[in-house]
Amino acid sequence: MTGLPNYTYRILARDLDFTGRASLMSLCRYIFNTASKDAENNGFGTRELHNNNATWVISRMSFEMYATLREFDEFYINTWVNEISRLMTTRNLLLCDPEGKTLGAAVTQWAMIDVDSRTPMDLRENMNYSKAARFDIPCPINKPVKIIPGKESEPVLERKVVYSDLDFNRHVNSVKYLEWMLDMLPLENIINNGFSRLDMNYLREALYDDRLLLSYQQEDNHHLFDIKRKDETPVCRARIQWE
Amino acid sequence: MTGLPNYTYRILARDLDFTGRASLMSLCRYIFNTASKDAENNGFGTRELHNNNATWVISRMSFEMYATLREFDEFYINTWVNEISRLMTTRNLLLCDPEGKTLGAAVTQWAMIDVDSRTPMDLRENMNYSKAARFDIPCPINKPVKIIPGKESEPVLERKVVYSDLDFNRHVNSVKYLEWMLDMLPLENIINNGFSRLDMNYLREALYDDRLLLSYQQEDNHHLFDIKRKDETPVCRARIQWE
């Protein structure tokens, strides 16, 4: 898209699931990698923020795909900061094939937190942030929706947070929740259903050794997922819509 | 190294563990990615093999690191095929910083199997493979050792193979075993002990829904890991040596 940077990638073997398609986790990792790289290129990446004892945490995301990516497929991602309020900023992303055809789109919403207190910081006080924003380019898809858990469902499994779940922010990595959610589903779901749209709500951080309860339920052509601590504190909710 | 291709990389946020260092898993993914890419460049990558209903599976690896990599660190990997027997081939890899200083090294041993029967194929019959080999460049570190499980130890946990464990070969991805092994250790081990050397023995494939028993034991400055099916069939063994 005019004036936006192109971040180019190629699907690697490591991105594939057992069906030979790029997994939803790998596509989300490309989304987050691009967000991180573009923030860095604009002077507000995690390295710069760490000098100020701050970091980015994701609050919500929506993600749609209109095509299937397989090994060796090339694509690029355009990204731009679109909205900035006191405590939240929106970053949009557009996935395109080498000819510029839209393959998918994402909207991500971020907060800046203080590394020690884990409390949100005022985005407009803490950096010269708005100069990078492109208010003129609209949101490519509907913004992330707030997930309302459906009727009470029993936890499918309990999970302890382990070493490999944690990222440099010392909390469970945002892609891990998605991995756990898909792992709960019957395998036929992933084989037979084309992915249409994901909405993620990140509600609390999960830390090392936290005990989490995971559940899901199916309604029409979508699944609702709920991850909470054993004390019922909600941690992450999501909705996956299938074709 | 003279005449060898350079595959260049940069450590990304997604490669870091909670200590801010590139995780052992991420380094192994770079190793496997380079092996895959170099095989592709030489005409015997997985895409070419799939035309022949064949694929590569790893049998053993050894891996040593002499430095710590952190976010934004650049490095390159040199790789070459070094030995070819009827059923096994050795690929060596050397990790270097941009000035050419050795950061780490790996030896990987691979078999080619028939996708349907999962049985090994004769490497010398199945492709014009040896032309890519560099018998003149020696193995950079000691070859992978055969892991002998120590005195009987009780399984620490049982794990069912789930969707996200599987790769395009439809079996548990080779890096997953390492992840499970590190996740079993007390966190202080990973914080306090510098990594020195990994030896992995891949013995059987683990498939979707397989129930696996995981255990480990400590001896001096190394850990021994054992993963087997519930019926006692050995699946993967490893040894991690700390500084």
- Assess whether pLDDT exceeds 90 at residue B230: yes
Domain boundary among B65, B97, B132: B132
Could you give the strand order of the β-sheet that contains A211-219, starting from the edge strand earlier in sequence? A6-10, A74-84, A89-96, A102-114, A54-65, A195-202, A234-242, A222-229, A211-219, A157-160
Domain boundary among B117, B132, B147: B132
In a domain, A38, yes or no: yes
Query: How many CB atoms neighbour CB B115 within 10 A?
Result: 13
Could you give the number of structural domains in chain A? 2
Size of interface A-B (CB pairs under 8 A): 88
Q: Do A62 and A118 belong together in one domain?
A: yes
Q: Do A120 and A221 belong together in one domain?
A: no
- Assess whether pLDDT exceeds 90 at residue A60: yes
SS3 state of residue B176 = helix
Q: Do B34 and B101 belong together in one domain?
A: yes
Q: What is the reported pLDDT for B159?
A: 96
Cβ <8 Å between A17 and B168: yes
Cβ <8 Å between A46 and B163: no
Domain boundary among B77, B99, B132: B132
**Chain A residues lying within 8 Å of B12, measured CB to CB:** 33, 36
Whether A131 contacts chain B with CB within 8 A: no
Q: Give me the CATH number covering residue B45.
A: 3.10.129.10
Distance from CA of A168 to the nearest CA of B (A): 4
Q: What is the reported pLDDT for B154?
A: 78
The domain containing residue B101 runs over which residues?
6-132
**Chain B residues lying within 8 Å of A176, measured CB to CB:** none
Q: What is the reported pLDDT for B126?
A: 66
What token pair was written down for A4?
A: 């936006």
Q: Is the ipTM of this complex over 0.85?
A: yes
Q: What confidence tens digit (pLDDT) does each residue in B163-204 have?
A: 999 999 999 999 999 999 999 999 998 888 899 999 999 999
Q: Do B124 and B180 belong together in one domain?
A: no
**Chain B residues lying within 8 Å of A192, measured CB to CB:** none
Residue in B25, B167, B185 nearest the CB of A18: B167
Q: Do B33 and B112 belong together in one domain?
A: yes
Q: What is the reported pLDDT for B75?
A: 98
Query: Which residues neighbour B125 within 8 Å (Cβ) at sequence distance 6 or greater?
Result: none
Whether A48 contacts chain B with CB within 8 A: no
Q: What is the reported pLDDT for A214?
A: 96
- Amino acid B62 reads S
Q: What is the reported pLDDT for B27?
A: 98
Q: Do B10 and B128 belong together in one domain?
A: yes
Q: Do A19 and A75 belong together in one domain?
A: yes
Q: What is the reported pLDDT for A216?
A: 95
In a domain, B219, yes or no: yes
Mean pLDDT value across residues B153-168: 91
Whether A33 contacts chain B with CB within 8 A: yes
Q: Do A123 and A186 belong together in one domain?
A: no
Percent with pLDDT over 70 in chain B:
97
Distance from CA of A120 to the nearest CA of B (A): 21
Q: Do A62 and A113 belong together in one domain?
A: yes
Q: Do B99 and B14 belong together in one domain?
A: yes
- Assess whether pLDDT exceeds 80 at residue B128: no
Q: What is the reported pLDDT for A224?
A: 96
- Assess whether pLDDT exceeds 80 at residue B2: no
